[in-house]
Amino acid sequence: MINDCAYVAQTLIKYFPEEIEVEHIKRTRGIWSKTFGIAYRIMRTRADVFHIHYLLQDCYIAARLRKRPIIGHAHGSDLRASLRHPLWGRIVRYNLKECDRILVSTPDILSTAKSFREDAEYLPNPVDLRIFYPKPAVNHAKKKVLIASDSNWDVKGTDIAIKALSRIKNEVDVSIIAYGKDFERTLNLARSLGLRLNVLPKVPHEKLNQYYWDADVVIDRFKLGSLGMVSLEAIACGRPVIAYVSSEYEEYKSFPLKDVNEEEDVAEAIVSADERLWREEYEYMRVNHDPNAIVDTIIRIYKSLSGNLK
């Protein structure tokens, strides 16, 4: 397992059966770690299957070193943004061609992958149910709303969330986690609209459950039309989630709340979010993002690629 994204690799490894022996090669964003460092570690590695998260340099290096078989696992920005980059785009296209299998983590990037590889397939992200599990909600004087995804107006639509919340600012108590490239812009926008935000420090992934449990409603993203890990983990923690889930994607046919991406609709959904909505969302999450079922699928893919896995 090489690299990671949204803790998908770590979750998969945690749920693998004992007979699957895994070496997880991670890297940082440091210049050495993500170039020569990762190349050296991949070169020295021997494995029956190479499962690589993100279709960028890690995947390219493994392919050029003739490591086989390779599963290229796309997680979003590699196909949404990097593919259009003059340099990174060449690397992503090479990886799409050279990998033995291509997996994508969200439906919104599946058609892009299929335009290069008809055999590309959607693999739902697993939710770590040992960390994220339901707890009863606490009664609050005002509905406690958590903006849990990073502040990014272009990708996450954080500005849409702020404008929607400003419409119901007397009915909600809003918290936001302090991270993302547009965090300061988000604070300034909220201030200009008279919306008070409680700023929470960024915490390690395994402690995010505390933030979810303390909220009544969790807000994720409103641009992509697909469910992010924030949504899935918050639902797993027992809280209804408001996010833009597009009815365009067949994979979300059973998700109860779709096509909510306008300010007025977002505000209305926040006000009306209740336990009934959560139960319907939880059933979707349970059926489609159970880590044990996803691991079973992954192992079948591994076995199809390697004669050493029985």
Q: What average pLDDT is seen over the chain?
A: 95
pLDDT of 132-145, one tens digit each?
999 999 888 899 99
In a domain, 310, yes or no: no
Residue 307's pLDDT is: 75
**Position 310 confidence tier, pLDDT thresholds 50, 70, 90:** low
* One domain for residues 162 and 101: no
- Domain shared by 112 and 167, yes or no: no
Sorting pLDDT into bands at 50, 70 and 90, what band is 27?
A: confident
Q: What angle do CA 201, 205, 211 make, to 5 degrees?
A: 55
**Dihedral sign for Cα atoms in the order 88, 93, 96, 98:** negative
Are 270 and 300 found together in one domain?
no
Whether residue 177 sits in one domain with residue 59: no
Give the Cα separation of 139 and 144 in Å (integer): 9
- Which range marks the domain in which residue 150 is found? 143-288
Number of domains within the chain: 2
Task: Read off the pLDDT of each residue in 120-126 and give the average, rounded to a whole number.
Answer: 98
Residue 138, pLDDT score: 87
CATH code (residue 164): 3.40.50.2000
Per residue in 238-250, pLDDT (tens digit) is 999 999 999 999 9
Same domain, 177 and 210: yes
133 falls within a domain: no
| 89 and 212 fall within a common domain | no
Q: What is the rounded average pLDDT of the residues 58-75?
A: 96
Statement to judge: residues 218 and 107 lie in one domain? no
Are 155 and 279 within one domain? yes
205 domain-assigned: yes
In terms of domains, do 82 and 45 share one? yes
Q: How far is CA 213 from CA 89, 177, 178, 264, in A?
A: 40, 14, 18, 26
Q: Helices (H), strands (E): how many in the chain?
A: 13, 9
Are 240 and 218 in contact, with CB atoms under 8 Å apart?
yes
219 shares its domain with 299: no
Entry pTM: 0.94
**C-alpha closest to that of 217 among 253, 168, 182:** 168
Q: Is residue 194 part of a domain?
A: yes
Cis peptide before 17 (omega within 30 of 0): no
In a domain, 27, yes or no: yes
Same-domain check for residues 74 and 30: yes
Q: How far apart, in whole angstroms, are the C-alpha atoms of residue 302 and residue 310?
A: 9
In terms of C-beta distances under 8 Å and separation of at least 24 residues, what long-range contacts does 81-90 make, across chains too?
Answer: 82/55, 82/56, 83/112, 88/56
The answer to whether residues 159 and 35 belong to one domain is no
**What is residue 182's predicted lDDT score, i.e. its pLDDT?**
98
* Nearest of 275, 234, 233, 284 to residue 255 by alpha carbon: 284
Radius of gyration of the chain (CA): 20
Token output for 310 = 């029985």
